[in-house]
Chains A and B, each alone.
Chain A
């Protein structure tokens, strides 16, 4: 695998070192996991994976992740727009804070959100009289996932907004388009690839999230329990096979979902041209 006619040295050693590193650290463990999962046999795997609790938790994880990623997308685009196009006091602070979910440990986010939305927390006690319970319910999961996914959308969309051709918008303006029309037909199509990328990344993160969710979720099987927690529960019982089977299922579902999103993105981009 030698590149043709490059005079730069160091290709072979760096490539082999990278492959070795990746192989030992990532490929080997993953391959082992799939090997164990396959070792269960088709029937064994299916028995574990088709349990009501596994399917129910999968549904909770997927639905919560989709909803949170959707919310992140809507508000993420708004925030990205505001940050790029407008100047206002504290703009820099807001810009810096967007990355907070990336810098803050997930467990800290978890206890903070749990404290906020618990019945006695600041937000929780405001919502309780309205009959809205967030902490220890499915809504808690969604709130935590919104938190962790936000920066992905904002940072994916910002560069795309920066590169928008202002002339097109001005042309639309001149032709008498209302702001909404201009947005829908001129701006949005140009942003779709970036938005889909951001959505996909937020979704990927949301599906696998653990630390920030377990404190605020109810952890009730099939109602407010996420798949990562189920895997940990199996591990705590030293049921390695169960944990491996469920983990393999989760990886498969995640990849399938992301593939779907990428395909959709491809189609939307093409249909626009």
Chain B
């Protein structure tokens, strides 16, 4: 590379590193350090509190429902958008990307408009004892909304890049749609699929804005872990808040490592994704 520009190279690298240190590493570090500030015992005690444990369970439950549903949608959308050309295809892609451009708070708002007490179907559901807003179903819907595009956005460009030859060959041999999906497409797409699932999962676990709006904020019942962190932080329990936060931060680091490993091993397939749009 340009070795003549030695000092410029050093300046650029130094700038990059300082920026990353300041904006990325320090915040991550402060989570762990403040969590452990009162010692290991206090850290452990904060994590076994019933409210925190309930929050962890709820967060995992929501992710367990959200990720598979978005996975199914992603596969379906990936198929029709990634392998066919039709009028309105671009519109569909724009719609799929829509949750990315909408503030999570607005996502929560529109769910309240539909499912709230005075909402479109809220009254009907309430009469049958089904509560959506202020309860877990609302939180699941909010999470599905914001994490919805992740898998589809990975599979569509990947399917486009890979082309339809193998699928068409299978079809010519008489394979059904599900057979083609199971034996031809999904195996080829699996790294993109996994990548999308990792991202979708990370976001589902960490979603805050949309869920905050539709949740009843009842500690121990309708608080996810991010919401519980806020409850603790606003309740004079800063160290406990950071302890709970550290769990999420740890998982974030894990996500980054999984993402990195996937990218390194399947660089070529995943390169296609980067080229089309960021992440």
Contact = CB atoms under 8 A, between A and B. Distances in A.
Contact between chain A and chain B defined by CB under 8 Å: yes
Interface of A: 1-3, 6-11, 13-15, 17-19, 21-22, 25-30, 32-33, 36, 75, 78-79, 81-83, 85-86, 88, 90, 92, 94-109, 111-113, 115-116, 121-123, 143, 146-147, 150-156, 158-159, 169, 173, 179, 197-198, 201, 204-205, 207-211, 215, 227-228, 231-232, 235, 240, 243-244, 247, 250-251, 254-255, 258
Given A26-B145, A201-B278, A231-B103, 13 more contacts: A9-B171, A25-B144, A79-B20, A85-B1, A103-B206, A108-B249, A112-B30, A150-B23, A155-B278, A204-B101, A208-B105, A211-B226, A232-B213
Given A29-B110, A106-B209, A208-B103, A11 B84 contact: yes
B186 interface: no
B99 to A, nearest CB: 7
Contacts of B158: none
A6 B167 CA distance: 11
Given A8-B84, A94-B17, A30 B110 contact: yes
In the complex, which range does the number of interface residues on chain B fall in?
35 or more
B80 interface: yes
Q: Nearest 8 CB-CB pairs, A to B?
A: A105-B206, A208-B103, A10-B177, A29-B110, A211-B208, A210-B209, A155-B278, A112-B27
Interface stretch (B40-48, B111-119, B123-131): B111-119
B168 interface: yes
Interface in B225-279: 225-227, 229-230, 233, 241-242, 245, 248-249, 251-253, 255-257, 259-260, 271, 274-275, 277-279
Contacts of A17: 73, 76
A106 B248 CA distance: 10
B25 interface: yes
22 contacts: A6-B164, A10-B177, A11-B80, A14-B79, A19-B92, A22-B96, A26-B145, A29-B114, A32-B110, A86-B12, A88-B13, A92-B260, A103-B251, A104-B206, A106-B206, A107-B227, A108-B206, A208-B104, A210-B212, A235-B109, A235-B112, A247-B109
B180 interface: yes
Q: Which of A3, A103, A106, A113 has the most CB of B within 10 A?
A: A103
Contact of B278 (A156, A243, A255): A156
A104 B252 contact: yes
A111 B241 contact: yes
Contacts of B80: 10-11, 14-15, 18
